[in-house]
Amino acid sequence: MRESLEEAERELKRVDHLIYVSLKYTRTVDVLKSTVQRIIDSYDSAIRSMLKYLEEQGRISSIPKSPGLRARILREQFAEEPVFQDFLVHYGLMREILRAEFDRREEFRRHVTMISKLKSSLVEVTIDSITLDYKKVRAFVRLAEEFMRNEGKGDVAEMLRRVEVELEFDKRYY
């Protein structure tokens, strides 16, 4: 459980480096795509950690190998928590973006864009949008950690508020 959270934190460090260093200097769609993959890996590790916690608590019997099934089980376990549902929808979107065909626009420029062709729409991934995605996955990892620290007790919305305050503080004094 703890190892998965530590892996999620390591992936977040990689995402941070990709956004604030690699993208700053290369500005390519390949780096954007790699960043999306690292965000998905962070989500995967945090989800795996939460499922291990739920397994230890006896709320689930086993953890599936498939990332999609793991997300579905977590979605079912937290069906009444809109905060977790929102994060899991975002995780699904990131996976869909990565698997979709894509086009490149304005490579090597500030507004480099990866245009993913999803079934229902086009999604543009830019430096600004991937930065927001990074902040969201970072909040999810911290929320998972907070949830397990509180042993699943307490209001998830209040936990998220504390996590957001902590992340805002980190951003100002980092």
Q: Which residues is 123 bridged to in the sheet?
A: 116
- pLDDT of 170 reads 55
Residue whose tokens read 């999306």: 36
Extract the tokens encoding 63.
Answer: 């953890």
For the chain, what percent of residues have pLDDT higher than 70? 95
User: What's the start-to-end Cα distance of the chain, in Å?
Assistant: 27
Residues 6+ apart with CB under 8 A from 142: 163, 166, 167
What's the domain range around 101?
Answer: 2-173
User: Per-residue pLDDT for 101 more than 50?
Assistant: yes
Number of structural domains, the chain? 1
pLDDT at position 172 = 46
* Exposure of 138 in the CB half-sphere (CA atoms within 13 A): 19
Average pLDDT for the chain: 91
Exposure letters 32-62 (e unless 16+ CB within 10 A, then b)? bbbbbbbbbbbbbbbbbbbbbbbeeeeebee
Amino acid type, 48: R
Distance of alpha carbon 124 from alpha carbon 106, whole angstroms: 12
Q: pLDDT tens digits, residue range 46-90?
A: 999 999 999 999 999 999 999 999 999 999 998 988 888 899 999
